Each structure stands twice: as C-alpha cells, then as structure tokens.
Structure 1
Amino acid sequence: MINKLKFYLNRLPWQNKLVLSGSTAIFFTFFIFSFLEYHTVSKWMMNREEIVVNRTITDLKTYYKDKADSLTREEIKNSRDFLRKINDKDQLIRVYDQKGEVVVSDKNGNFTVLEPTPIKSQLIEKISAEGKEAIVARSPIKGTNFEGTIEIVRQLNNYQKMMDHFFWVMTVFGMAAILFSAISGFFLARQLLTPVRDLTNAMKRIKETGFQGRMEVYKQKDELTELTNVFNEMMDEIETTFLQQKQFVEDASHELRTPVSILEGHLSLLNRWGKKDPAILDESLQASLQELARLKKLVVDLLELTRAGSQRSLSGEKANIPAVLQRVVKNLEVVHPDFQFKMELEQRLPYVLISEQHLQQLLIILLDNSIKYSRNNRLIQVSCTRIDKNVLLSVIDNGIGIPSEHVSEVFNRFYRIDKARSRENGGTGLGLSIAKQLIEKYNGAISIESEEGIGTKVNILLPAAF
C-alpha cells in the first residue's frame, strides 16, 4: 500500500505536489493547534464548573456553620428556601444524614437517582450516568445535634453544549481553511512554477531554433530570477563558444586548404612533367617540403590553441621570470646570432603564478614575433618590474609596427596584417591568440602598444606569488 502511494505521488506534477504538501502541512498544523486549543478550553471550562460547585458548597457550609450550636434536622429542613436561592440551573443540592436519609433537597432539572454516600472529608468527582456527565461534590457538616453530608450534583449540559458548538465551529473553520489553502496553494504554486515552465519552453525553443532563445528576466529579486539570469548568461556563453568554434573551424579549414592546394598542385605538376625535368622536380619538392613544414606548424599551433582554451588556472604553480627568460634568450641567441637581446630586470623580483612551461611558451611566442617582424634594427628589449601585487613583463622591438586600426584585432585567431609577409615568415596567425588565452587562464592581462614603422611593445601583467 505504501509503495503504491509513493508510486502515485512520484507521478504527480510538481504543481500538484506543492499543493498537496502545503495542504497536508496546513491540515496537520491546524489539527494539532485545534487539539491543543480544544483540550485547553475544555479544561478551563471544567475548572469553571468546579469553581461554581465549590463556591456553592462553601456558602452552604458557612450557612450551616453559623447555626452549628442549634443545628437540628428541623433546621436543615427549614433551609430549603436558602437552597433554592443559591441553586443554579441543571444543579441538585441535597443534605442527608449519616444513614443516607435525605433531609432536604432542591433540584433544578432532571437528574439520575444517585445513592447517598456519607463521607468524612470533602471530595469532588466527575461521573457519567445514562449518557450524561455531571460533577458531584460532597462535604461533611457537623453540628451539636446533627451530622451529615452536603451533596451537589451539577450536570454539565452547558459545558457539553459549549464544547460541541466549539468542536463544530473548529471543524467547519478547519475545512474552510484547508479548502482555502488548497485553492490559494494551487494558484501560488502555479505562479511560483511559471519561471520553471518558461525555462522549459525556452529550452524547447532553443532545441528547435538554435542558441538565440533567452528567458524573460523577471523584475522581482528572488532565487528564480537568479536562476533565469544564470540560464541566460550560460546561453550567452554557449552561443559565444559555439560561434567561436564555428569560426575556428571555418578559419582552420581555410588555412589548411591553402597548403593542401599547393601540395596538390605541385604533385600534379610532378605527375605530368616533373618526372623527366630535374628543375621542375627540384622546385616542386622544395615547395612541397616548405608547405609540409608550414602545415605541421599550423597543426601544432591549433593543438596548442585548443589546450590553452581548455586548461584551467593552476594557481598553485610558480615560475621564476629571470631564470626562464635567460634560458629562452640563450636558446634564441644560438638560432638567431644576428639579433641582440637586452634585458632590464628589477632586482629581487617575486615569483609569478604561472607554470614555467607556459611562461616559456609565452616568451617564445612574443620574442619569435619580434624577430619575424624586425627590420634593420635587430635589438629586442625585455624589461620586468613589480607593480603592486603583479609583475609587468614587456617585450619591445624596433620592427615594422602595427597600424593602429589593426591593434585590437591581432589577438583574433588567424588574424594577419600582411598575409604574404606572414606566409613568408612561416606565421599562422595563432601565436598571440594562444598567448592571450594562456595569460587569462592565470588571471593575467596582455596589451599591445605599437606605432607603424617604429616598433611594438607587448605588455604582460601576471599576479605575483607571495
């Protein structure tokens, strides 16, 4: 039975679950409150009834005590008027002697016959007879010539009517409250789940039409509004990533097509005439080898760019800029002996939060660009200084420079100002894009200052390790 109930509840829509859970919680809360309130009121009213009975007994005992010296059966009988005067509705007062013989009584209502019970000390109790509840109080009286018991029987008709009325009022009010909570819970759940339904519809639209769909941002500042903002931001990032990936594939396809076409042309040339012509054979082989080298470099750069885009920040790794820089410059001096590298490094530079491998890769990219695009002046300067909690690394050359309108574009993939010159130098247009992505992974920044015909200065700002 329980498993069937769980299965049924699990199949309910969230809106119905919210309404059902809210109504159930309100029902149990109201039930507990009503139960406690009912018993509290019942006890309070019962105490009131007992107080009335005790007060009546006290009045009777005071009345008979004043006549204790002359208290006789006759005096007891003559007190009927007093009994009638103090008696209430649905109440029986009687006095009987030690043998249980009733001397005087007054009743105001219909009562079940009770056996007289003489007692030695005062007591009060609750009895039930013939479906009716009553309070019975007994107290002994003693005079010079009489000894007996005062008995008061008070029916709880008013108490029972009041409690029945109270019970039905609470029941009706409880049912109305549950009904109201169910209706209000339905509309409230519907209102609360509106952003969830909108999110579902937005996902369906995105599935059908693409990444352009967004959710409407609600004015109220709550968790669902935050969910909407996060969803829209996520879709913005997904759309941006998708467009970048699409552009990357298109650019990569275009870049790969050129060397492949050149290789295909030379191989076709060799197939037609180059077999018997040594000059054509040598020229085609040299050109094919150059294009293969360029193709290999392009593939390597593409892999580096992919890795740079997927790697996360490794804030625990540190690098010593002077040591890495000297190692890179020493290797470049061997390959390019006609270039002069001048280093201006601040003393006691702190380590920077970047792996040595990535720092070395950044320096090779920047210095290689400076070498490629330098003219007669073959001096390349590298400076490094500490700025607050960061370290600024600058690479300065006296090359051809970058036109001002192109400075903001050089970090884009495959972007080259002079494609012919870049092809001649073996460039792929991916170096600065790789550098930018690596630096941003380590919470750094890169910028370029350049003037055409004068030179270029590349600034890298990396967080220092303390």
Structure 2
Amino acid sequence: MSNWLIARERLSILTQAKQIAAAYSNNIQEGKGEQNFRWLQAYLAKDQGVELINRQGIRITSLTIPQSINFGLQVGPLREGASIISIQGHSYIRTVYPSVSEGKRLLGWVILYSSVDTVFAYINTLIQILLLSSFGAIALAGISGYAVAWTALGPLDRIIQSIRKVDPNRLSYRLPELHNTKEIAELTESFNKMLERIEFTMERQNQFIEDASHELRSPLTVIEGYVNLLDRWGKSDQAVMERALLAIKKESSRLRHLTNDLLQLASLQTLTVPAPIIEIGEVIQDVISNIEVAYQHPIISVGCEQKASIAMHAEHLQQLLMIFLDNAVKHTTKEDRIFIKLRVTTTSVIITVQDEGNGIPKENLPHIFERFYRVDSSRDRKKGAGLGLAIAKEMVDLYKGSLTVSSTVDKGTEISVQFKRY
C-alpha cells in the first residue's frame, strides 16, 4: 500500500512540476526576466517548495525550500525524474523537470520538493489501525467462538455428566430434558427411551429369573420330599413307595418339559438361520393328526386344503400350532368343538384356532403371552408352566408375523396368527 501511495504522490508532483515548467518558460519568453517570481506561490501547496535553475545551472530563486539547501550556487548535471531524499530528518519527493521553449530549447529546470512525512504518517496510522483491528477481530472471534462452542457443546457435556450417573441398580434415572437445539432435544429423548427399554428388559429378565427359579424349585421340592418319604417308610411300605415313585415320575416329567421350554425360548431369541419357504397345508394336517391321536379329541378343519406358502421353519410352525391346539384341548371338554381355520389373501396367510371352552377373563388377556403367566394358577398347575404362549409369541415375532386373541368366558377363545404370503 505504501508503494501505491508514494507512486500516486509522485505522479501528482510531476504534474505540478510540468505546470511550473510551462509557466517558467512563458515568463522567460515574454521577457519578464528571472527576477519576478511571485507567480510561483500560486502553484505550491502546503509542505511544498520549489527552486528554479537557469540553463547555466545556477539557482535563481526558491520558495519554502529547506534551509540546508544553498542557493545561488552552481548545481551539478540534472536529470529529469523523481526521487525520495531526506533533509534534516524529513522525507521529500524531489522532482526535476526541464523548462523548454516552443522551439524545444532548454531554458532551465524546475526542482519541486514535496514532503511525504504526512504520507508515511498516514501509512503508519493505517498500519496501527489495521493491527488494532486485527487484534480486535481475533479477540472477538475467539470470544464468539468460545461462546458458540459453549452453547453447542455445553449441553453435550451436561448429557455426558448425566450419562455417567446411570447405574445398573438405578435404571429409573432419566436425563434432564434439554431444549437448546432440536438435535440435543432428540438425543436426550432417544437416550431416555433407550433407558426405558433397558429398564423394561431388566425388569422382565429379573422377573423371568424369579419365576423360573420358583417353577424349578417346586418340582425339585416335591421330588426331595418324596425321596425323604421313601427313605423313611418306603422301604417297608409298598403303597408309600408306589405313590412316591409316581409323584417323582410326574414331577420329573414336569421338570423336563419346563427345562425344554426354557431352552426353546433361549434358542428362539438367538436364531439367525434364514427361513425356508414352506407349504403349510401338509404341516397343518400333521398337527391335527397328532393332536387327535394324543388327546382323542376331534379337530374340525376349515379351508385347510388351500395352497399357501410362508417363510418359516416347518418344525416351528408345527410347534406353534401344537401350542394353540394343546391349550384349546386342555380348556375344553370332549363335547366342546375345536376348529382350525385357514384363510388366504393375496398378501397374507391367517391361521385361526377356535374353541368352545372355558374362555379367558378380559382382564387377563393382556398378560397371557407373558412367561409363567397362568390365568388360574391353582387350576393350571397340572396343565403347564405358563411358557407355551410365551414361546408362541417369540416364534411369531421371530418371523415378523402378528398375533391376536379374543375370548369370552364360558364361550371360548379364538387365537389367530398372520404371516406374509409367498
């Protein structure tokens, strides 16, 4: 920038020097001589000076020239041009320009001095202003950046501190709601929902462990009791021995079924094998035959001859239908009818098991798929551990199906499962 300012100053002074040289030439040619130079004052600005040199190289006049310049003396050879000189600690642009007649004859020289101290002072002031402005801008940017960072990252820091307070024994804790930005609010909400799911899962797990322990303890307690009975009196009493052995056999069978059910639940939760496409008609007929032979209870099939395919392992579909029909048989009499119905649409397959048995109270319906849940534990104790429908629900969820149940006490129950048709 300083070079640009100096160049502009040089150009301006050169123009002045040309004007003075033209006036000097006119003054000489009009015969006014070299003595009256008051006209020079009109061409000078503040902080400027001028000297005129005749063609013999003698200074003939000067105005406001620094005192260190000696006048009336012979000067050395002069060349047209401009340069920066220093006089008594001050800087000047010294411009030399020839004065010539109309016939191009040299009449003399004009030497114009113009102080550039103000230019340098202006540049120094400008540099100081730029430096101060730069430092101010940097400081302002730093403060603004810190404020923005605090505004953006402050909520994240509070979330991190809150997350550290989460403890496995204190899953009811929730992050405080933060609404600084939409993203922060969504993050907080998502984390709280995750905590809710974890808390629910942990509660279900703890409940499952408690229920499983209780269910496993019951047959073991019975077996232990009869073993002690045999040890005391069974050796000599045939009736006591037979009763004890029958009870032990029954409870052992119950314990085996319970263990198998628990293993089945665990295996379903970790199953990742892709499901094959199967034709369901044959599977339904096999299940009906097995139930009729096992329970001597006729099953009425409706529409089961239709052709339909779903993505599922055949053994899982068979077990699913066995659970539904087994429950239906256990809660009906020989006179009550049991139906299995197949309905096929363009996109789905619906299998329904309907019975005319005891029915389920309305308040119990939301819980029938929970593990170890029994509508009437005193009545159902001999009929199962309450895991059948929980296993059925796991199977349906595994294959992305849907399950619905409707029931009326003393009129019967209807359970339907729906899968995507292939």
Counterpart selection for 1:395 from 350, 353, 356: 353
After TM superposition, list the pairs within 5 Å mapping 1:243-322 onto structure 2: 243-309=203-269, 318-322=277-281
User: Which residue is equivalent to 2:410?
Assistant: 453
Q: Which residue of 2 aligns with 1:424?
A: 382
1:214-268, Cα deviation, whole Å (9 max, x unpaired): 1211234432222211221121111111111111111111111111111111111
2:366 aligned with 1:405, yes or no? Answer: no
CA distance in 1, matches of 2:311, 2:30: 112
Please give the residue correspondences for 1:359-378 in structure 2 after superposition, counting only pairs within 5 Å.
Answer: 359-376=317-334, 377-378=336-337
Q: Percent identity?
A: 28
1:292-341 deviation line (CA, Å, top 9, x unaligned) = 121111122122223444557x8886554445444544554554564324
> Which range moved further: 153-162 or 193-202?
193-202
Deviation at 1:203, TM superposition (A): 3.7
Letter in 2 for 1:262: V
Task: Name the CA distance, whole Å, in 2 between partners of 1:136 and 1:303.
Answer: 106
Structure 2 match to 1:54: 11
Question: For residues 289 and 436 of structure 1, what CA distance do their matches in structure 2 show?
Answer: 30
What does the per-residue CA deviation read over 1:147-168, in whole Å, with 9 as the maximum and x for residues that have no partner? 6665555443222222222332
Higher CA-based Rg? 2
Aligned equivalents of 1:130 and 1:311: distance in 2? 99
How has the CA–CA distance of structure 1 residues 207 and 417 changed in structure 2, closer, same or farther, with 3 Å as cutoff? closer
- Whether the 8 Å CA contact 2:281–2:305 is kept in 1: the answer is no
Q: Secondary structure at the match of 1:219?
A: coil
Tell whether the 8 Å contact from 2:288 to 2:299 is kept in structure 1 after alignment.
Answer: no
Q: Distance in 2 between matches of 1:421 and 1:92?
A: 125
1:383 is aligned to 2:342:
yes
In structure 2, the CA distance between the partners of 1:66 and 1:417, relative to structure 1 (3 Å rule), is same
Aligned-residue offset at 1:196: 3.6
Q: CA RMSD in A?
A: 4.0
Q: Give me the whole-angstrom Cα distance separating, in 1, the residues matched to 2:187 and 2:90.
A: 63
Q: How does 1:437-448 map to 2 (within 5 A)?
A: 437-448=394-405
Structure 1 residue 272: deviation in Å? 0.9
User: SS in structure 2 opposite 1:246?
Assistant: helix
Partner SS for 2:41: helix
Offset of 1:357 from its aligned partner? 5.1
Question: What amino acid does structure 1 have at the position aligned with 2:412?
Answer: G
Q: Quick one: distance in 2 between partners of 1:130 and 1:319?
A: 109
Which is worse superposed, 61-70 or 336-345?
A: 61-70
1:164 equivalent to 2:121? Answer no
Whether 1:235 and 2:195 are equivalent positions in the alignment is yes
SS of 1:305 mapped into structure 2: helix
Distance 2:380 2:25 in 1: 132
Report the secondary structure of 2:413's partner residue. Answer: strand
Asked if the contact 1:90/1:157 (under 8 Å) is kept, the reply is no
Give the secondary structure class of the aligned counterpart of 1:424: coil
Deviations 1:169-226 (A, max 9, x none): 3333444444455555555544544434433443454339611211211234432222
TM-score, length-scaled by structure 1: 0.73
Specify whether residues 177 and 67 from structure 1 end up closer, same or farther in structure 2 by C-alpha distance, changes over 3 A only. closer
Residues 111/228 of structure 1: CA separation in 2 closer, same or farther (3 Å cut): farther
For 1:139 and 1:61, the matched residues in 2 are separated by: 7
TM norm structure 2: 0.80
Are the counterparts in 2 of residues 73 and 146 from structure 1 also a CA contact under 8 Å? Answer: no
Query: Structure 1 regions of 5+ residues with no counterpart?
Result: 1-41
Instruction: Give 1:429 shift.
Output: 0.7
Asked if the contact 1:88/1:108 (under 8 Å) is kept, the reply is no
Query: How far apart, CA to CA, are the structure 2 residues paired with 1:84 and 1:384?
Result: 117
- Pick closer, same or farther for the CA change 1:55–1:171 going to 2, 3 Å: closer
Distance 2:67 2:316 in 1: 104
Instruction: Figure out how many residues of one structure are paired with residues of the other and give that number.
Output: 415
